[in-house]
Structure 1
């Protein structure tokens, strides 16, 4: 019985791979020839891509079902282990990501403004927090934002958070050999299939997927606080409270501490302002 389940699982897995490969080929063809195709051909291609995507999802669901059934047939002990691992995975998954940054624009010993937004809204479900030289920061984050919009316009689908992180890393790596950007990035996003995720990308194009992270002088205090207090199953309120603890520590211990901070969140409802922390008084962000 177990052999039959394994055979069925492999068959569905192979068919899912074939459908996904065909979908990728048509998407690549559409991307390379979008300006040459007629409107009718574009509509036909998009319909074919949608059909292949639905076919892949159907095979994937059947494959996962056969895989779970085969595992359940093995032994009671194995079934118990699978259940425990699944519970651990569900506990580790997150429904949101929080990004915070100071709002000071400074040069040398001068503060030019205290309402500079350093967290770029890339699209409806992605945030990019950036630190570094003001010109490089603004230019590079806008460059990434416009390229994401262009990709979505051409392909009628947005890039995932992981794909955005790799694209950003690639652009930084290319610039590193020509005219480097002095920019450090925390990228956060929410994908329907993968949930919330966060990526660390520094100015020399180092890329890591992370649960928590910080840049700048404030990171000397924030990282130790996060190591001690962070939990994968935190609620939004608990995560924001941890951010507040980091802000409090920066204001207390950093000689040139920024005055104001912005906090943004991304979850299934999208990316948006959450709150602002100001010397004169903290307040929630206005819509």
Structure 2
């Protein structure tokens, strides 16, 4: 865990954005971290030093509402609201340099400039130096495992560490998934993590599916969280910047964490 660094949420008044606020509030509360709600503004047709006052009023009113949702979700959590001029991806990547975690909704709905469209989430997930969690708008109560993609790469080792830390915090089982042939290293690595977290139920699953995103989603349909690395040697993490990552971040029914 990264102590004393904020959990940053990109917000844009969409339903996935509010889902991201709820998820991040719980995370900030358990980390004893500040929750920073960031809204990016681009005012077309007006100088940067003369923003539209009515739009700003609307933004601040919505941020106040989002902060209230965060405090209801995690009583006692420290909440900051920030409005900055600029493009959402650029501002979020700047924040990520000193953040414990960046949390985004999977898609914006075009409310306040539609800032958090899927392409923004993909870029931030690919380039941020800290873990990025992308949260879908509809969040039913899930009781399944934390699913971690494994492909023997360094980034998947980081993903495993993040997955086990999250699972321990929320008292969830862990399912480590490898897409490909049976892998003795998968069993050995899972055994190492079982020794580190003896209180957790840990399972492994080898799936023979040439579509890694589908394999991860199907491994545990009731997963609470899916965790992947960014640049792996195999198909699970290696395709993050292409169709695999796009499909997983856009279509997973649960939050997806991307760990570097």
Normalising by the smaller structure, the TM-score range is: under 0.3
- Structure of larger gyration radius: 1
- If the length of structure 2 is used for normalisation, what is the TM-score? 0.24
